Amino acid sequence: MAMSKWSAVIATSVRLLAAPAWGDEWQWDQLERLLEETFTTAEPDAVAGAVPEPDISLPEARLAIASWVEDRPSPLHFRTGNVTVCTLAPMRSVPYRVVALLGLDDDRFPRSSRADGDDLLIGHEIVGDHDRDAQDRQLLLDAVMAAGDQLIVTYSGRDELTNAEYPPAVPIAELEDTLRDTIGASALEKVVTVHPLQSFSADNFTSAALGIPGPWGFDPMQLEGALAMEGRAPDAGSAPAEWPVYDESEPIPLGALVGFLQHPARRFIRTRLGFSIPALGEVPDDTLPVDIDALAKWSITNRILTGLTEGYELDAVAARERATDALPPGDLGSGVLEVASETAAVLWAAAVVRGYDPRRHRGLTGSVTVGGSVVEGSVTADPTEGLLALVTPSRLKGKQRLKAFAELLFLSVLDPEISWKALLLGKRERGDGLIAVTIGPVGDSPAARRREANLALTDLADLYNEGMQAPLPMPCETCYAWQRALGKGQAGAFNAARSKWETDRFNP
């Protein structure tokens, strides 16, 4: 689009989406002035039509208006004697009584600046070029020197979720080092105040506890929380030597049983202690990928395979994947997409040959009584072919086999009239080859299937009940490596288990 047309497009879009408050109509004039300054060419020949007006794309237009939202000094006047709130600005000539610098965390200061990819001088810096980091350091020095009576600097210090310690910005850390060398470490402790993360902490309401003569907190509701914390009964003593008896009469969810078999200690901590470590979300990456790692390649293959199982054609799924931002541009991503498509197509073809048809799969829900326990849950399977299937681009390890085995036993007890079997399709544990694993059926007749599956599922339920009394040292993949190498003798099994425990830190 021509450069001058972007002004009308942006102005129309803003008018359709937003409107200033009553009395703030001056913001329209400011927007029009910014658009005119940004998208009006200064070449007289271009204005007269002698020179073609340049076309700019959407990313270039977005980059052109990026400077509108950059930090800039407040339009408020200095030296008024009032409280002035602004971004860092040159203050060497302003004699403030108190200067408060807020939020100087390591990841926020010095402030980052986005470089224009069309600026060819970035790779040829010389003395005197613009340096945002050096300018921020100079502004910080100006602010420190402008403080007449008090200087206040704040930064996060700790993570609100994990309590992990966060360092201050590098210039603030250097300022602390200078103070330590000047006044000593003991005097620096009186200058640095560590505030508690919880607003109901007793320190917030204790006089002189946080560097001021009186209490720091003022919220009456938080004060009630602090008093409630102080009024708690003292501990009755050390924890009992044994865990409280687990109520084995409670039904065992099938998902919990599978989770226990895959991660016994984790399931114990979640079920008995009610404690779990939340999974931290990934930070979205809006940069254009040039190369992708193994996890990203697996994700692409898995999405293509999912599309095939949902009935879409391979070309349509591959085209959708190419249209996303998951692949590197152009030929850089063609090789990755080709390998992923080939792997997914081979897995899908192998699954179809073995009778896998997602359209016939149904959710089978129920509860079964095995031994003295009740196992309840739901399994998605094909009752027509008696097939429980897992098709994945992942490597088939012990946890996939255990999950399929437990669900197979559940279905065999729930409906023994069907000769259930489990099909696993995935990559080999080593190398790039594919492997198909079939488990079951567990018996030749309905009575035999019910009996054998009942006995095996009873053992798993008893193991689960035992694992809820105390954490069992039974890591899934380590035990699987031990069992597979047991035919080589105790020494071979021990070496295989030790290798799995020491080298696979994600699935020991």
417 and 402 in a common domain? yes
- Domain membership flag for residue 35: yes
Residues 433 and 342 in one domain: yes
Q: According to the model, what pLDDT value does residue 211 have?
A: 81
Alpha-carbon gap, residue 385 to 173, rounded angstroms: 67
Tell me: pLDDT of 443 over 70.
Answer: yes
Does one domain contain both 95 and 162?
yes
Residue 82: how many CB atoms within 10 A of its CB?
Answer: 8
pLDDT in tens, 42-62: 454 544 555 677 888 888 888
Residue 97 covered by a domain: yes
- One domain, residues 308 and 442: yes
**Residue 96 falls within a domain, yes or no?**
yes
Q: Are residues 338 and 410 in the same domain?
A: yes
If you average pLDDT over residues 370-393, what whole number do you get? 91
Q: In this model, does residue 175 exceed pLDDT 70?
A: yes
Return the minimum-mean-pLDDT range out of 35-39, 76-80, 116-120, 355-359: 76-80
Domain end position, chosen among 160, 192, 224: 192
502 vs 194, higher pLDDT:
194
At residue 433, does pLDDT exceed 80? yes
Same domain, 9 and 136: no
Q: What is the DSSP string of 249-312?
A: TS-EEHHHHHHHHH-HHHHHHHHHS----PPPPPPP--SPPSS--HHHHHHHHHHHHHHHHTT-
Residue 287 has pLDDT above 70, yes or no: no
Give the CB-side neighbour count of residue 166, counting CA atoms within 13 A.
Answer: 20
Domain that holds residue 381: 249-275+289-470
Residue 389 belongs to a domain with what CATH number?
A: 3.90.320
Q: How much of the chain, in percent, has pLDDT values that exceed 70? A: 87
Lowest mean pLDDT: which of 177-181, 292-296, 373-377? Answer: 292-296
482 in the same domain as 461 = no
CATH number, position 151: 3.40.50.300
- Asked if the peptide bond before residue 475 counts as cis, ω within 30 degrees of 0, the response is no
- The pLDDT mean for the chain works out to 84
Question: CA–CA separation, 426 vs 265, rounded Å?
Answer: 27
Q: Are residues 56 and 99 in the same domain?
A: no
**206 located within any domain:** no
Give the pLDDT of residue 491.
86
Q: pLDDT category, 134, cuts 50, 70, 90?
A: confident
Which has more pLDDT, 73 or 83? 83
Whether residue 263 is found in the same domain as residue 410: yes
Given this model, what pLDDT does residue 449 score?
92
Nearest-angstrom CA–CA distance, 160 and 373:
41
Whether residue 213 is contained in a domain is answered as no
Per-residue pLDDT band for 327 (boundaries 50, 70, 90) equals confident
What tens digit of pLDDT does each residue of 11-33 get? Answer: 888 888 888 888 888 888 888 88
- Do the domain assignments include residue 377? yes
* pLDDT tens sequence across 462-484: 999 999 988 888 888 888 888 88
Q: What's the mean pLDDT in 296-313?
A: 89
Instruction: Tell whether the model's pLDDT for residue 505 goes beyond 70.
Output: no
In a domain, 436, yes or no: yes
Q: What pLDDT does 288 receive?
A: 66
Structure tokens at 183: 């006044």
**One domain, residues 22 and 107:** no
pLDDT of residue 445: 93
Radius of gyration of the chain (CA): 33
Decide if pLDDT at 459 tops 90: yes
462 and 340 fall within a common domain: yes
For 39, the enclosing helix (H) or strand (E) is helix 26-39
Phi, psi dihedrals of residue 413, rounded to the nearest 5°: -80, -35
State the pLDDT at residue 392.
92
Q: Please report the pLDDT score of residue 342 as a whole number.
A: 92
Give domain status of residue 216, yes or no.
no
Q: How many domains does the chain have?
A: 4
d(CA 31, CA 9): 13
Q: Bigger pLDDT: 123 or 163?
A: 163
Give the C-alpha separation, 356 to 382, whole Å: 8
pLDDT for residue 283: 60
- Residue 373 makes CB contacts below 8 A (sequence gap 6+) with 248, 251, 252, 458, 461, 462, 464, 465
Residue 256 clears pLDDT 70, i.e. is over it: yes
Question: Using one digit for the tens of pLDDT, what is the confidence trace for 183-230?
Answer: 988 888 888 888 998 888 888 898 888 888 888 888 889 989 888 888
pLDDT in the model for residue 85: 80
Amino acid 208: pLDDT? 85
Identify whether 264 is preceded by a cis peptide bond (ω within 30 of 0): no
pLDDT in tens, 210-219: 888 888 888 8
Which of the residue ranges 210-224, 239-253, 275-289, 369-383 would you say has the lowest mean pLDDT? 275-289
Do residues 37 and 82 both lie within one domain? no
Report the range of poorest mean pLDDT among 73-77, 326-330, 335-339, 393-397: 73-77
Nearest to 260 by CA among 42, 477, 34, 476: 476
The answer, yes or no, to whether residue 81 has pLDDT greater than 80, is: no
Cα–Cα distance between 220 and 166 in angstroms, integer? 30
**Which phi and psi (to 5°) does residue 391 adopt?**
-115, 120
What confidence tens digit (pLDDT) does each residue in 338-372 have? 989 999 999 999 999 998 988 899 999 999 999 88
**DSSP 8-state secondary structure symbol assigned to residue 432:** S
